[in-house]
Amino acid sequence: MIKRWDGVINNKIENPVKYIKDHWFLYGESQTDFLRHALAGLWWGVYLSVDYDRIEKYELTKIFFRQMDFVTRTLGVYKLARHKEAVMGILEFINENDLLFKNNFEKKTRFITKYLNLLGGVKPLAYYDRDFFKKELKIIKGKIENI
């Protein structure tokens, strides 16, 4: 973060107090703010993706942070991202179908999150575990392949 926002250290900023507040503290209350903020987003990303039952507990975390657009503009805009089991189901599906996501990762992840968001209009997604989400994504796997 210091390398990314080095304005105060390099004396490039007229108002260092405002600069530090704007870049190092979280003021927004929206879900997107939590995932877009550097520190908060890192904490939430790890919380949502770490799996202590795996040999490599950060295996899904690596997928979560593969592309920041996935975190901030795809998952981050849906309440789906607040449901750890949904996120884990999505990440496990991506992990198990890695070749499917080698190309067009952004378009494909947007498609699946939109699909699950629409599904949330008719089903109480907060009650389902990760296997439900993986099964739902298996149903539309053919559509994902065509993206």
> Which residues, other chains included, contact 81 with Cβ-Cβ below 8 Å and sequence gap of 6+?
31, 35, 48, 75, 87
Q: Where are the alpha helices (DSSP H) in 25-98?
A: 31-36, 38-49, 59-64, 68-69, 84-96
User: Where exactly are the structural domains of the chain?
Assistant: 16-145
How far apart are alpha carbons 48 and 52 in whole angstroms?
A: 12
Tokens of 78: 């849906």
pLDDT for residue 87: 96
CB atoms within 10 A of CB 63: 21
How far apart are alpha carbons 100 and 108 in whole angstroms?
A: 9
How far apart are alpha carbons 117 and 141 in whole angstroms?
A: 16
* pLDDT per 10-residue tile (average), the chain, 147 residues: 78 84 73 72 91 97 91 77 93 97 95 94 94 98 97
* SS3 at position 15: coil
pLDDT for residue 18: 86
